[in-house]
Amino acid sequence: MRDRLRKFTAFTERLLPHETAYLLRHHQLEDDERIAILERVERNSREVTDFIPYDASIDKRKYHHLRNWMEKKLAAIDVDERHAWLLRLERLIVTDSIEHEDERQLLRAIRHYEHPGFYFMKFYEVLGQYRHFLQIRMRYRDYALVNDFLATHAEAYDRSKQGFDRLHAVTQDVVEQYARRGGESWQWAESLERVFLDKQMDGLNRYLALVRLTFVSFNHREYDRILAHFDRIDRAFRDGRNYSPRLLTNYYGNRMLLHAYRREYERALYYGRLSVRSRNYDHLFYVNNLASLLLRLDRQTEALELLQGAKQAAKTTVNSYNRIGYTAFYLEALLKTGRPEQAESYGDSYLRAYRKEILRYRWHLFFTVYLLALLRRGQAARALRVIRKFKLPDRDAAAAHKPGYLPTIPTLSELARWREGLLTDKEFHASFRERLHSLPEATEERERFAAFCRELEPLLQ
């Protein structure tokens, strides 16, 4: 019995506030104890750090039944579950192995369809396959229903497909500017906004447009603009529209970044902790973002615990960008919690194993922390060898003109030279001050570089 309650607790710990808000709003429960349990579930899902245990005196069967009800209720509105169903049906139709019950559900979905569905394009394509299946078997009545649906929504499908294809060109510019601090993407903002606000467009295109509009807004620091759209999607999730755990987690992750950019750090931490509650393909990306914020706010112990919990995800990911980011933040967390020797060793091993990936993706982030680890360990000469070996001054000079650039690499290089006696005190400190004041005042870059310089103070003695 106790084990069953522990399983219920573990299940509810993965639930997200918008999910439990929907369940609480749309339940038709009559049993007072079940309602009380659901209210406790909703309260616990909102409070990321303050958990209230469930009442063990209530019949454990009620917990079991309530869990089953919650799972079914959420699955019924989960657009990703529906997509999986459509993919299964497509395979069964193409291989002539669809069963009567599957056909009954598909025909019922056509009769009850409300446009636009989230995965409207996939639904339309599956029905295109199903029409062939019906026609050759001379099932005239069902064929007429399917054919009428396809004819009615042909224009909407073409519009959605064209919009989906256009997003590829948009994405190229958006990602290039965000990841490499180059290119331009603002010209796409209005068209992306129109797609997201178009209630006749399918949900997938609207979601993809919002994600790209989020990147554009972050690139150009138009935070108020994207906040209004986040509030719209927030209301949709609470109503159970266009929902899946994956989409909801992505929303939390993006909202964390938004509030961090707006310097609303407690709200950012709240959404960041929600974003890492469930595990999915992008879990490591959300962990990295939350860890970065925690480190910036000097909550290094919490950051280290978070990163240690994601070690397996970092080992198994095929995404080099996320893995290198994880490693850099892990090294930083080790340094800030007084483990420089461990940071040096971990950095050495990682550089030997992944030097090509580091140089291709996030070399500036990795080498900033790795060189700092070497200097903390009194390895100034070795730091200079690393700088020469990987031609970091040349790489840094090529990146210096890009937005968001911080002169951390040349600063660490000069610090290493000074500690090796290759620069006089006067030369080093003059260069140090000049580099700090070269960044415009009252900017995020100036603030971040000043924080970085404060970390170097123990090495300036």
Are 420 and 381 contacting, i.e. CB atoms less than 8 angstroms apart?
yes
Residue type, 325: G
Q: Which residues contact 345 (CB under 8 A, 6 or more apart)?
A: none
Which has the higher per-residue pLDDT, 179 or 213? 213
**Stretch 337-358: mean pLDDT, rounded?**
96
pLDDT at position 288 over 80 = yes
Average pLDDT, the chain: 92
CB atoms within 10 A of CB 142: 18
Predicted local distance difference test score (pLDDT) of residue 79: 97
Are 269 and 293 contacting, i.e. CB atoms less than 8 angstroms apart?
yes
Predicted local distance difference test score (pLDDT) of residue 2: 47
Predicted local distance difference test score (pLDDT) of residue 180: 57
Which tokens in the block code for residue 61?
């069967």
For 109, 157, 168, the CA distances from 117, given in Å and listed in that order, are 11, 11, 21
For 4, 136, 228, the CA distances from 41, given in Å and listed in that order, are 16, 52, 29
Predicted local distance difference test score (pLDDT) of residue 163: 94
pLDDT digits (tens, 9 = 90+) for 187-206: 788 899 999 999 999 999 99
pLDDT digits (tens, 9 = 90+) for 372-418: 999 999 999 999 999 999 999 999 999 888 778 899 999 999 999 99
Which has the higher per-residue pLDDT, 440 or 293? 293
pLDDT at position 173 over 80 = no
Q: How many CA within 13 A on the CB side of residue 97?
A: 5
pLDDT at position 70 over 50 = yes
Q: How many CA within 13 A on the CB side of residue 262?
A: 18
**Stretch 107-124: mean pLDDT, rounded?**
96
Q: What band does 179 get if pLDDT is binned at 50, 70 and 90?
A: low
Predicted local distance difference test score (pLDDT) of residue 440: 79
Residue type, 166: R
pLDDT digits (tens, 9 = 90+) for 205-230: 999 999 999 988 888 888 988 999 99
Are 445 and 439 contacting, i.e. CB atoms less than 8 angstroms apart?
yes
pLDDT digits (tens, 9 = 90+) for 5-51: 889 999 999 999 999 999 999 998 999 999 999 999 999 999 988 88
pLDDT at position 261 over 80 = yes
For 395, 444, 460, the CA distances from 418, given in Å and listed in that order, are 21, 28, 9
Which tokens in the block code for residue 211?
């994600």
pLDDT at position 181 over 70 = no
Query: What CA–CA distance (Å, rounded) separates 352 from 350?
Result: 5
Locus of tokens 């950095």: 347
Predicted local distance difference test score (pLDDT) of residue 170: 83
Predicted local distance difference test score (pLDDT) of residue 1: 41
pLDDT at position 113 over 80 = yes
Mapped to the 3 state alphabet, what secondary structure does the chain carry?
CHHHHHHHHHHHHCCCHHHHHHHHHHCCCCCHHHHHHHHHHHHHHHCCCCCCCCCCCCCHHHHHHHHHHHHHHHHHHEHHHHHHHHHHHHHHHHCCCCCHHHHHHHHHHHHCCCCCCCCHHHHHHHHHHHHHHHHHCCCHHHHHHHHHHHHHCHHHHHHHHHHHHHHHHHHHHHHHHHHHCCCCCHHHHHHHHHHHHCCCCCHHHHHHHHHHHHHHHHHCCCHHHHHHHHHHHHHHHHCCCCECHHHHHHHHHHHHHHHHHCCCHHHHHHHHHHHCCCCCCCHHHHHHHHHHHHHHCCCHHHHHHHHHHCHHHHHHCCCHHHHHHHHHHHHHHHHHCCCHHHHHHHHHHHHHHHHHHHHHCCHHHHHHHHHHHHHHCCCHHHHHHHHHHCCHHHHHHHHCCCCCCCCHHHHHHHHHHHHCCCCCHHHHHHHHHHHHHCCCCCCHHHHHHHHHHHHCHHHHC
CB atoms within 10 A of CB 415: 22
Buried b (16+ CB within 10 A) or exposed e, 379-393: bbebbbebbeebebe
Query: What CA–CA distance (Å, rounded) separates 378 from 375?
Result: 5
Predicted local distance difference test score (pLDDT) of residue 62: 94
pLDDT at position 331 over 90 = yes
pTM: 0.91
pLDDT at position 302 over 90 = yes
Predicted local distance difference test score (pLDDT) of residue 207: 95
Query: What CA–CA distance (Å, rounded) separates 308 from 302?
Result: 10
Closest CA to 146 of 93, 81, 85: 93
Query: What CA–CA distance (Å, rounded) separates 225 from 210?
Result: 12
* High-pLDDT (> 70) share of the chain, %: 97
Locus of tokens 């454990």: 60
Which has the higher per-residue pLDDT, 240 or 442? 240
Predicted local distance difference test score (pLDDT) of residue 433: 83
For 321, 323, 324, 354, 395, the CA distances from 360, given in Å and listed in that order, are 9, 13, 10, 10, 11
